[in-house]
Amino acid sequence: MPPVDAAPISVILPDQSRREIPTGTTVLGLAESIHKGLAKRSVAGKVNGREVDLGYQLADGDQVQILTTDDKESLEVLRHSTAHLMAMAVQKLFPSAKVTIGPVTEEGFFYDFDFERGFTPEDLEKIEAEMRKLSEAKLDVTRAEVAPADLAATVERFKAEGEPYKAEILQDIMTARPGETVTVYGHGGWSDLCRGPHVHNTSAIKHFKLLSVAGAYWRGSEKNRMLQRIYGTVYFTAEDLKAHLFRLEEAAKRDHRKVGKELELFMFSDLAPAMPFFLPKGAYVYNKFVEFIRELYDRHEYEEVITPLAYDPAIFRTSGHLGNYNENMYRLWTEDVCDHCEPGKLHEELQADTFVLKPMNCPSHCIIFGSKRRSYRELPWRVADFARLHRYERGGAVHGLARVRSFAQDDAHIFCTEEQVASEIEKFIAFLYEVYTVLGFSEVQVKLATRPEKRIGADDLWDRAEASLAQGLENGGLKYELLPGEGAFYGPKIEFHLKDAIGRTWQLGTIQYDPNLPERFDLTYIGEDGKEHRPVMLHRAILGSLERFFAVYLEHCAGAFPLWIAPTHAVVIPINDESQEYAREVKDFLKAAGLRVNLDDRNESLNYRIRDAQVHKVPYMLIIGKQEVEARSVAVRARAGGRNQVMPLDEVKVRMTAERDTRALTPQVVQEPVTQPT
């Protein structure tokens, strides 16, 4: 406690105004001194740029921001606190369960537990009920510091309490950051290691839901024990929680694995784990994405190359990937390699000499650039590649098309001078927004990811790289969020995050500044001064992994592709035998115009065939009856239903081809019914 007669202190608020407060005032005390309503909405604080608890005592000259329920950071604090509340509830109900880690996710939180059996849906209901009891108990959340001298004893205490994972985590902290003070947060006699901050009382945790259980290996390695991961989410209001649960319900309906199977777009086999097979319909959609990007490559002056898939490991030693990416690379070997290996050195020699299935295109493009003498007049050189890539993702990480082991990218690299970087970024941004507009993505968040701890290259190169990317964004008039430490190991990057039809965000496009690979491959060009200069390399993608984008777009449109992408544009449905001949004529006429049209003349009812076409998300049903035969017309029905619209066959062709050729996002032949909000 400060002395009674201690002099007041002054803190600086976000608007740069100063506020005088008594010595010893906490963040919550500051909020109360400003307004009771502010204190009621306060969750945590940010002092001199660092997030702290409401109980943090302020010092003279501190810059203070009070985080309220309106701030994004506050939601993360709430989610972290709820994860702790859940862990306490689990251990109260299941005392033999051991806690491991419980981080916040983009849409909620999870906690991993070592338990002798899997948690059931009934268990989740019990845990949730216990969490509500703990919330209603209004337990104060405490924070304690463990000094470096006491850490070893704390490790032994954790072991004695049957918490080996806590002990292991603390031991790792002591090894990695010796001399660091560690914090422990707790409530109601339960505690765990945590940096914080947390809410000040469990009563702040009200609107939560436990969602699912999944298996997860300790530290992500199949060599370790399988744990039980409980997922949950929480919000400050019941309305926000309800909206989130609705999005989850909608996302389950749109799950690309489910929709892809229903529409016969792709499949997987245990004989090629996590490597997709695109079926005829899916291959058509996939190739339409590629054709679209290729068409724009011509206009934006990119040149496409075709490169090998397998390489001598020397190329990846030069690039630095073998030092930073070993565990994700597929290696190839032949019998003669094994025949020449010394006994006991098979692994060592295979690692040293066996060819690599490339996990990225950039080293091969460096080989092409360096294959001849280049002039500054050739720059910028924009080179594109749709080669297949292979990356070994662990079994627990793969997820449908969203994370696979074999894929292609709309990958390109721009070799340019340092002076050209900002203008190339501007041109790329224009290209990217053109693509996203055609595809129907209107909300794009931009983020600048800077140097990570594990990186190659000198700091002065990173300084210039980060400054160039920021300049390109500013020249393009784009606001962006800074992501410190999230860049690639070879250079900083700009990320483009899209919001889909149900409000989820996906990181797709990226452009990365790389001064390091040109240095490693000794790439040069002859400048205007007749001397050798080092180019800059920009790595860029718009859709990113085509497999992942396929998953994102499939969920975005719930399988109802715009006509220009749809594998089937229309189904001709004759009502009776008398209309069969004209129906075949309609199909042939439209197919001659380049439209993908099928004939459904099965011996099924009209309603059954219409419903089948709708289930398969076919944009249009062309229904042929006696009147249509006599008038040489077609009754057109959109996949979303509504009234049939009768029009001449020639007009149907004109409207459908226009819808295809303009890449329209909404039906142009007939209007779909407007759904009234409920």
**Exposure letters 524-560 (e unless 16+ CB within 10 A, then b):** bbeeeeeeebebbbbbbbbbbbbbbbbbbbbbbbbbb
For residue 420, indicate whether it is catalytic.
no
Q: Judge whether residue 346 has pLDDT over 90.
A: no
Of 112, 123, 192, 411, which is the active-site residue?
411
pLDDT digits 0-9 by tens, 367-418: 999 999 999 999 999 999 999 999 998 776 789 999 999 999 999 999 999 9
Higher pLDDT, 248 or 326: 248
What is the SS3 assignment for 499? Answer: strand
Q: Closest Cα partner for 391 from 281, 493, 501, 274? A: 274
pLDDT digits 0-9 by tens, 17-30: 999 999 999 999 99
pLDDT digits 0-9 by tens, 557-605: 999 999 999 999 999 999 999 999 999 999 999 999 999 999 999 999 9
For residue 258, indicate whether it is catalytic.
no
Q: Closest Cα partner for 369 from 466, 290, 303? A: 303
For residue 16, indicate whether it is catalytic.
no
For residue 413, indicate whether it is catalytic.
yes
Using CA atoms, how far residue 356 sits from 45, 203, 272, 350, 368, in Å, is: 50, 55, 18, 11, 18
pLDDT class of 55 with cuts at 50, 70, 90: very high
Q: Give residue 635's pLDDT.
A: 95
Q: Judge whether residue 142 has pLDDT over 80.
A: yes
C-alpha span between 307 and 320 (Å, rounded): 20
Q: Give residue 678's pLDDT.
A: 31
Of 281, 374, 391, 616, which is the active-site residue?
391
C-alpha span between 147 and 182 (Å, rounded): 7
Of 539, 540, 616, 639, which is the active-site residue?
539
Q: Judge whether residue 553 has pLDDT over 70.
A: yes
Query: The tokens of 159 are what?
Result: 């072991």
Mean pLDDT of 162-179: 91
pLDDT class of 315 with cuts at 50, 70, 90: very high
Q: What percent of the chain has pLDDT over 70?
A: 95
Q: Judge whether residue 517 has pLDDT over 60.
A: yes
Sign of the alpha-carbon dihedral angle for 628, 633, 639, 642: negative
Q: Which of 137-151, 460-474, 496-510, 527-541 has the lowest mean pLDDT?
A: 460-474
Q: What is the mean pLDDT of the chain?
A: 91
Within 13 Å and on the Cβ side, how many CA atoms surround 290? 18
Q: Judge whether residue 674 has pLDDT over 50.
A: no
Which alpha helices (DSSP H) does 137-254 contain, by range? Answer: 151-160, 164-176, 238-254
Looking at the DSSP bridge assignments, the partners of residue 192 are 185
For residue 391, indicate whether it is catalytic.
yes
pLDDT class of 336 with cuts at 50, 70, 90: low
For residue 228, indicate whether it is catalytic.
no
Mean pLDDT of 504-524: 92
For residue 676, indicate whether it is catalytic.
no
Of 84, 405, 493, 660, which is the active-site residue?
493
Question: What stretches of 262-312 adopt beta strand conformation (E)?
Answer: 266-267, 277-278, 303-304, 310-311
Q: Give residue 595's pLDDT.
A: 97
Within 13 Å and on the Cβ side, how many CA atoms surround 588? 6
Q: Which of 1-15, 78-92, 269-283, 656-670 has the lowest mean pLDDT?
A: 1-15
**Exposure letters 48-64 (e unless 16+ CB within 10 A, then b):** eeebbbbbbebeeebeb
pLDDT class of 671 with cuts at 50, 70, 90: low
Q: Give residue 338's pLDDT.
A: 65
Q: Judge whether residue 348 has pLDDT over 80.
A: no
Q: Closest Cα partner for 47 from 32, 62, 68, 61? A: 62
Mean pLDDT of 153-164: 91
Mean pLDDT of 459-469: 87
Cis bond upstream, residue 380 (ω within 30)? yes
Mean pLDDT of 648-676: 83
Using the 8-state DSSP alphabet, how is residue 272 labeled? Answer: S
CB 188 within 8 A of CB 139: yes
C-alpha span between 41 and 38 (Å, rounded): 5
Sign of the alpha-carbon dihedral angle for 147, 153, 156, 158: negative
Q: Give residue 126's pLDDT.
A: 97
C-alpha span between 492 and 473 (Å, rounded): 13
Q: How far apart are the first and last CA of the chain?
A: 58
620-624/570-574 β-pairing: parallel
Of 65, 91, 228, 409, which is the active-site residue?
409
Looking at the DSSP bridge assignments, the partners of residue 229 are 112, 214
Of 194, 362, 366, 557, which is the active-site residue?
362
C-alpha span between 558 and 213 (Å, rounded): 25
3-state helix, strand, coil split of the chain in percent (to 5) is 40, 25, 35
Of 198, 374, 413, 660, which is the active-site residue?
413
444-449/481-483 β-pairing: parallel
Cis bond upstream, residue 197 (ω within 30)? yes
